[in-house]
Chain A
């Protein structure tokens, strides 16, 4: 990499500052740079270089002293919250935040699991890569049933940007022609297993309103010339993505948007730069730059630009805005509406069912699929809602043959047991609910009155809970998933709900808190992710969402960001910014 890429002190005024380098920040930087803007990407954490810094990659479990598990003492001291993430292990732990340095508080009687990834690339290194377009049923949901404010955009506003993003990152999937889950520009889909194919037939015959599709994932199943020219290669089906992938086969900032941005020579990166607040000029009503505290030595510095894109993560962007106070905006910058911090959502992943599948003993699979099976939401409009709750959920899951991890609990001693452990066992199937969470004013973040972190920044105080709607939805999801598996003829079907155990946060799909909207009186951002109050300030990450929708949000972060940059640059060219 270009040595001049990384900067520390500078007096330059950039065309654009992007705060954050994850999925949204990488996209903002790429688009701004490609449009000729001198761009500074600010990252609060360390530099993670593609390939070189994937220190957990390509190692067998025996190469880790605790065989991929993390030492108790280290968990106790640094990862009490992060350990809850399914992808947290000894091969990935260095990509998770140190909880002891990243404190936050929660309202009494509530909890929130805030998963952090403060390094270059952010959570783009750790994400689960499921990539779905939202449909008009999603964008229309708030208006249709009266929960939350109306999204100021519809599918037609975003479809070309979804295509733009998909072509660049590479999304594997199959065209299905489903109204609630629009098709995209796909690379070839991952294959089903034999039982999954049979399950698809059974499901679609028993439940005409339901479809089984293969999970759409940002993996290069068949890289294009363009992908190869970027140094990316075909997915090897290791499914160890969160360790980092030297093949560049899944989308991350490092594999995809960063090389594109660097290529323009318009990019600079300021790593180890914790943004304290935005510098606001009341006279011009513009943001001029950012105040930064050094991640390591706590010294302060400032960076300046003509426009600022906040892509610091849903909670991160809003925290910066809340902490940017002025006489005009005493409660946080661009917060004339007073809704900044409110309407926090996550997805609810707290119900499901599993079963054993008889037969298919002569069937197996080769490689480790990085995706799974997916039943799109079948309650996708008010006329299809379940009577007990509004909105709906998808069911995501997979099949596999039981291996030693399950068989370890079976009875047996000696040679026969050893043989039993080494053979592929019964097929099993699991389905997990991915439920929409309603936008509620009460679910909110604010700055703690007294507590600060090591950088002197007020800590976030989070007050977020599942409402009855989310709980009833999970109860139904467990029953529906169980029913589906029973109807398919599977045995030992068991269902569960876990919303009483897991607080919001663990889907790592936190969205909202600086929502878009048509009305400046009840929203922060307009339909182009531009703050209503300050023309040269944009927020394009998950903070901007009006509803959580059902599907995974990352592809929409990217599409919204690319669209916002296009709008912004057009506004700059026309001297409106």
Chain B
């Protein structure tokens, strides 16, 4: 029988250690605001999106899909172009994992989404999607950059991230707005000038 108490109750030492490290990573002020429980429950607009809540996912539960949406939007946020959840990366991932990936890959993705949600509940007492955007970013960044994740978790996170990136840049917005899209280039030039602020090509040959 699964020992839920062990998994969900916050071990005070672990929590203190995690928060201490996180304080270093995200700055004392933010950490304090986390601890004090203020300004946390700012849900993104899409979290209240009726379409998302009404959708019947293929692989994820509705709750997991909401967590995934927040992860997508955190990894690829809205800037001058829309973010990951704005273009339904989470819906795409649910679909894509179901149709084009192995059962193992499906389970790995579910596991890492659950893991992030569990960490959020454990340490902040809130679902990941309820955290402030800035905190979400810092948490994922922290998890990616430190040893908090096991190497297996790390690999699952990498794969999920790659799928989010694939979903984003193969979406119409991602390919044509976040990148520079040439449907019909009209010919090939081997050398054109480039500066680092320019968008790379979103029109690619998919082999």
Contact = CB atoms under 8 A, between A and B. Distances in A.
Nearest to B134: A414
B163 to A, nearest CB: 8
Contacts of B198: 364, 423-424
A126 interface: no
Nearest to B196: A423
Contacts of B4: none
B190 A194 contact: yes
Given A67-B96, A362-B195, A363-B194, A415 B79 contact: yes
Given A68-B170, A414-B141, A421-B169, A364 B188 contact: no
Given A363-B194, A404-B169, A238 B187 contact: no
B185 A421 contact: no
B189 A366 contact: yes
Given A236-B186, A237-B185, A418-B77, A61 B175 contact: yes
Interface in A340-382: 361-370
Most buried by A among B162, B165, B176, B191: B191
A58 B188 contact: no
Interface stretch (A13-21, A185-193, A320-328): A185-193
Contact of A408 (B99, B161, B185): B161
A62 B140 contact: no
A158 interface: no
Interface stretch (A69-77, A451-459, A496-504): A69-77
B140 A413 contact: yes
A68 B206 contact: yes
Contacts of A58: 183-184
Interface residues on A, range: 35 or more
A226 interface: no
A411 interface: yes
Contact of A366 (B169, B178, B192, B205): B192
A417 B170 contact: no
Contacts of A424: 194, 196, 198, 200-201
Interface class of chain A by DSSP: loop
Given A62-B175, A364-B194, A424-B194, A191 B100 contact: no
B196 A361 contact: yes
Given A361-B194, A414-B74, A367 B189 contact: yes
Contacts of B165: 404, 407-408, 421
Interface string A377-405: 00000000000000000000000010111
A191 B137 contact: no
A196 interface: yes
A72 B101 contact: yes
Interface string B67-105: 000000011110100000000000010011001111000
Given A87-B207, A413-B141, A62 B170 contact: yes
B15 interface: no
Contact of A69 (B96, B137, B158, B172): B96
A491 to B, nearest CB: 19
Contacts of B101: 72
A366 B192 CA distance: 7
B185 A238 contact: yes
Nearest to B76: A418
Contacts of B170: 61-62, 67-68
Contacts of A62: 170-172, 175
A363 B179 CA distance: 17
Contacts of A236: 184-187
Contact of B185 (A190, A193, A366): A366
Contacts of A403: 200-201, 204
A522 interface: no
Given A68-B170, A414-B74, A414-B137, A196 B190 contact: yes
A418 B88 CA distance: 16
Contacts of A72: 99-102
Nearest to A62: B172
Contact of A239 (B100, B145, B205): B205
A188 to B, nearest CB: 11
B76 A365 contact: no
B188 A417 contact: no
B190 A191 contact: yes
Given A60-B176, A411-B144, A367 B199 contact: no
B200 A366 contact: no
B194 A422 contact: no
A106 interface: no
B190 A369 contact: yes
B23 interface: no
Contacts of A61: 170, 175, 206
A71 B189 contact: no
Interface string A279-314: 000000000000000000000000000000000000
B187 A365 contact: no
A6 to B, nearest CB: 32
A361 B203 CA distance: 20
A363 B92 contact: no
A168 B19 CA distance: 72
A365 B191 contact: yes
Given A61-B175, A237-B188, A408-B165, A401 B200 contact: yes
A240 B205 contact: yes
B180 to A, nearest CB: 9
B177 to A, nearest CB: 10
Given A237-B188, A362-B195, 10 more contacts: A66-B95, A66-B100, A193-B191, A238-B205, A409-B161, A413-B141, A421-B76, A422-B179, A423-B199, A424-B194
30 contacts: A60-B175, A60-B176, A62-B171, A66-B95, A71-B99, A72-B101, A91-B206, A190-B188, A191-B191, A194-B190, A194-B191, A235-B188, A236-B184, A236-B186, A362-B193, A363-B193, A365-B190, A365-B191, A367-B186, A404-B179, A408-B161, A408-B165, A409-B158, A413-B140, A413-B141, A418-B76, A418-B79, A421-B76, A421-B169, A423-B196
Interface of B: 74-77, 79, 92, 95-96, 99-102, 137, 140-141, 144-145, 158, 161-162, 165-167, 169-172, 175-176, 178-179, 181-201, 203-207
Shortest Cβ-Cβ A-B pairs, 10 listed: A191-B190, A367-B185, A364-B194, A408-B165, A237-B188, A367-B188, A61-B170, A424-B200, A67-B170, A408-B162
